[in-house]
Amino acid sequence: MTDAALTTERLVLRTWRQDDLPAFAALNQDPAVMEFLGAQPLPREESDAIAAYANELWAARRLGLLAMERRDDGAFLGMCGLHVLHEWYPDDVELAFRLAGQHWGHGYASEAAAAWLAYGFDGLGLDRVISVTDRDPPNARSIAVARRLGMVWDHDAELPEDGTTFAAVVHSITAEQWRAAQPGRASPAT
């Protein structure tokens, strides 16, 4: 598959296709999905623009929030990847994901995110990856994924967003921490 960026046991993480856009727009209109992502449903044009930007970022820098599909049946599940939060953390790479509600609770976010961490640390040579989530109220599902991945609390922040303030919690993991937590993997000599 030429558009595959990464694969896991159950998933294909790949560039966006035109036929993904209606399902992605529906995901971005779901109030349960958007509860911790600004709470407002995204217009179709904005949803499509996220996918287009992700493909551009992948082509230019090998980063991006790419489409996630299930390998066994090709079902579109959502997106996951690495990107830069230029406004808030321009010197960091963030791990982020967004799944359709019917796919929550199956471990897809953790599986995809783990593949992206491996790619970021081993493929791109990143030193650290962060995750930014809602703190008040807490986005418990996303925080749980971050912790399952070995990410640890880094700091709390008040981030500007659309004329208001976004109460965030930032988790992080370094390449050294990630490698030390991988079974059967020796840490590089220092």
For the chain, give every domain's residue range: 4-180
Residues in the chain: 190
Could you give the 3-state DSSP secondary structure of residue 87? coil
For tokens 């390449």, the residue is: 175
Q: What is the CA radius of gyration of the chain?
A: 16
Does domain 4-180 correspond to CATH entry 2.120.10.80?
Answer: no
Strand segments, DSSP code E, in the chain are 4-7, 11-14, 64-70, 76-85, 89-99, 128-134, 152-161, 164-174
Query: How do the pLDDT tens digits run along the chain, 190 residues long?
Result: 347 789 999 999 999 999 999 999 998 888 877 776 766 788 899 999 999 999 999 999 999 899 999 999 999 999 999 999 888 999 999 999 988 878 888 999 999 999 999 999 999 999 999 999 988 878 888 999 999 999 999 999 999 887 888 889 999 999 999 999 887 654 444 3
pLDDT the model gives residue 38: 64
The H-or-E segment that residue 147 falls in is helix 140-148
